[in-house]
Structure formats: C-alpha cells, structure tokens
Structure 1
C-alpha cells in the first residue's frame, strides 16, 4: 500500500531531474557589477561643474568618482592616485584619492562606469 506512492514519488523526482533547469530569476534583472582595479587607472579629469573625478582605466573604461566634502587641490592636481588596499573597486564602494599637492588623501565614492555613449557625449575638456 505504501509502496505505490513511494515508487510514484521516485519516478516524479527522476523526471524532474531530466527537465531543464529554470534560469535564475534575478540573473536577468541584475546588471553586471561595474568594477575597476585601482592599479589600472591611466588618466583622470576633474569635471569643473560637478567636481566629479573621471578616471580612465586600462581597456578604456571610464569611471566616475564623487569626492566627499572638500578634496583640497583637486582641480589643479597634476597627479592623482586611487589609493586603496582592495584589489577592485565597484560602483558604490568608497576609496581614498591621493592628490599630488594635497597634504592628505580624501574620500571618494565610485559612482558608476560610464557607457560608451556617455563618454562620447562628454565635452573634450572633460574626457580623461
């Protein structure tokens, strides 16, 4: 009497194992993480209107960083380093910016990676 439901359950489990697995529902809704490696920063530009810092990395990816508070001498910086102990920084992460002429580093948040269309829309003076 108990044998028939048990056999039926095992049969259904075997059939379910042959069915294709559904794709993860969040996989399509979640965009790829926008990350950069601090050591890959090649050039930078400070956007005068917004005080944002745009950095170009190896591979021509452009990221926007937003300094927190007053980053001294940022507008006139000749050199900038993204000083972080982590191997990568992603959108939403905080890091430290070291400016050549400033006495101390300042905090900045990685806002996003700019799309190729956003980079093309930048004024020439704002492109890193």
Structure 2
C-alpha cells in the first residue's frame, strides 16, 4: 500500500472514530465530546468556595475563574459552616479531573474529619447563572 493511500485510510478511520465519540448536552443545549468534558484543575489553584445549602455539593472557583462542582460522597456535617477547606489528595495527585475523588478537609474545627468528594465537572455559564447567589463562590 502506498504511503498516500495509507494516510487516506488513516484519515477516514479517524473521522469515523470522531463521529462515534460520546456527546453530552449541557443545560444551555450545546454539545461537547466526552474528551472536552473531562476538565481538570490544580487543587492549589482554588481561590474561593461555597457549600450548597443541603451540604451535598461544594462549588469552587479556580484561578482562571472557572467554577467546578464537587459532590460529597457521604456525610460531611461541618461543610455548611466551613470557613476554609483544603484538599488531601488521594494517591499524591495534585490535579483533580472530572470523575476523580479526593478528600476535602474542612477547616474551623480541630476535630474535623476529611470528607470524600467527587469532582463532577466544570459548570457552564448558564449553570453558574442558575446557581442561587448563596451557592456561588
């Protein structure tokens, strides 16, 4: 097979693969491939946070002003009154990507226990606008 033909076959296969990629739809109706949906941030780049009123979610604002939602994987009773949070990375990872778990250390009490959270992903502008003002970091 000639190099030109092999390259053409490669491009066709690549196009077919891209057409089959999973697609997610955001709240505002736009779509993104699953690869684009896997957003990451460095845990040291978190600049502010807010816990939701029900204590099930934590919204963090990262250095570039992107807001991410972290879901509590269980009970985290001190989260709603937290004055500060920190991360205790699992496996020594300093970055947190969509679907990853980490431990959230809630500041303010010497007896506080770390909470396990899962990074649900970055919020779209429409999702940020839909958040109650109390939950926006």
Runs of 4+ aligned residues of structure 1 deviating over 6 Å after TM superposition are none
In the alignment, the residues of structure 2 paired with residue 42 and residue 94 of structure 1 have an alpha-carbon distance, to the nearest angstrom, of: 19
Structure 1 residue aligned with 2:5: 16
Q: CA–CA distance in 2 between the matches of 1:49 and 1:26?
A: 41
Partner of 1:86: 93
1:107 maps to which residue?
A: 116
1:58 to 63, 85, 95: 63
* C-alpha distance in 2 between matches for 1:66 and 1:15: 49
Runs of at least 5 residues in structure 1 that lack an aligned partner in the other structure:
1-11
> What is the TM-score with the length of structure 1 in the denominator?
0.79
Compared with structure 1, are the counterparts of its residues 21 and 70 closer, same or farther at alpha carbon in structure 2 (3 Å cutoff)? same
Change beyond 3 A, Cα 1:72–1:45? same
> Any conservation in 1 of the 2:100–2:118 contact (CA below 8 Å)?
yes
Structure 2 residues not aligned, in runs of 5+: 22-32
**For each residue in 1:13-60, what CA deviation from the matched residue of structure 2 results, as whole angstroms up to 9, or x when unmatched?**
244046482335444624312111111111111111362111110101
Return 30-39 or 15-24, whichever deviates more: 15-24
After superposition, the CA RMSD in angstroms is 2.1
User: How many residues get paired?
Assistant: 117
Q: 3-state DSSP class of the match of 1:21?
A: helix
1:83 Cα shift? 2.3
TM-score by length of 2: 0.74
Larger radius of gyration: 1
Going from structure 1 to structure 2, the CA distance change for 1:77 and 1:34 (only over 3 Å counts) comes to same
Note the alpha carbon deviations across 1:48-88, whole angstroms, 9 max, x for none.
13621111101011111111211131110000112212131
**Greater strand share, 1 or 2?**
2
SS of 1:75 mapped into structure 2: helix
Aligned twin of 1:48: 53
